Amino acid sequence: MLRLSFALLCAAAAGAQPFPVRGIHLAAPQPDEIPLAERFIKDALPKEGVNLLVLEINYRYQFAKHPEVADAGALSADDLKRLTAASRAAGVRLIPMINLLGHQSWARTTFGLLRGHPEFDETPGKYPANQGIYCRSYCPLHPQVHEVLFDLIDELAEVTGADAFHVGMDEVFLLGEDDCPRCKGRNKAELFSGEVRALHDHLAQSNRTLWMWGDRLIDGETTGIGKWEAATNGTAAALASIPKDIVISDWHYESAHPTALYFALEGFRVVSSPWRRASVALRQLDLMRLARMNTTPAVAARLQGMLHTTWCGFGPFAKAYFGEDTKNVQAMESVATFRELNRELRK
């Protein structure tokens, strides 16, 4: 009751201005889940007050220019157009996403970019079966890598008619490696910021906004947040040399760290991103409201709202939401957090 009263007080004190972003991040559905995804977008998202969907497609798309990077379960152009049409009908802004730089593999599986173009690997010939690493990275200095990446970005952006693109870039651990002939000995913050600027400048040519995760831009040692939800390999200094019109998705899952205000004070628009702990999500929302109440209008305007994350697949999340599967614990926890967060946002 005290927490609820505090949240309502903050909302009233902030002038009852609604957050411009009330979003959800979901992995792209499997092809046979398209009807379920359409139903979820059209029925659930308006009901919950959601106005933005970040759809993480990665390489699960039948790319026309680069079919060699398509992963299993790739969506067709018609599939993606159906999801786009459903989003528009629901009043939901769709932002496509490819997780770039890091996250080019998971467990033993190497994803489409490095499978189709092993020459782009930051650690070529190392870590057979991806043993001994978290995820592979591509080399941001490879002379051909952006030619391919820009084609992939443009194709997804054009099919969806999107005005923004989420490039991920979280949890990048392999960067500036001694095994890379181009990156060896380079400053990691400069490598990271250089890749952000390259992606940003390409999107700017078509008047599209870059969105990205914020963990690599937080100093994990100074803050004590650590190496997962922040960086301990020197990339945090990149924040000072990337464009200010980027939107930061500030994800924290175990504690509500007050880093959204940090990004806003540095000049960036920012959304807070919880996952499956409702208490954390509601504290993040409280911090957003409290910061808006106690800062200048310019900074308050940069505190854009919330982007809920799911990490269980589109189909499992939608089925859990509709009560069609109550056995997936992770999906149920994320759905419960999603409902509670949006219930609070609608007040």
pLDDT digit string, tens, across residues 202-241:
999 999 999 999 999 999 999 999 999 999 999 999 999 9
**What value does the mean pLDDT of the chain take?**
95
User: For the segment 233-256, what is each residue's pLDDT rounded down to a tens digit?
Assistant: 999 999 999 999 999 999 999 999
Which band of pLDDT confidence, cut at 50, 70 and 90, is reported for residue 314? very high
Which band of pLDDT confidence, cut at 50, 70 and 90, is reported for residue 5? low
- What the block records as the tokens of 129 is 């079966």
Query: Amino acid letter at 320?
Result: A
Q: Residue 4: what pLDDT?
A: 46
Which band of pLDDT confidence, cut at 50, 70 and 90, is reported for residue 9? low
User: For the segment 254-275, what is each residue's pLDDT rounded down to a tens digit?
Assistant: 999 999 999 999 999 999 999 9
Contact 8, 347 (CB under 8 A): yes
Is the pLDDT assigned to residue 44 strictly greater than 60? yes
Q: Please report the sign of the dihedral spanned by the C-alpha atoms of residue 108, residue 227, residue 178, residue 68.
A: positive
pTM more than 0.85: yes
User: For the segment 46-73, what is each residue's pLDDT rounded down to a tens digit?
Assistant: 999 999 999 999 999 999 999 999 999 9
- Domain regions of the chain by residue span: 101-163+171-243
Q: How many CB atoms lie within 10 A of CB 177?
A: 18
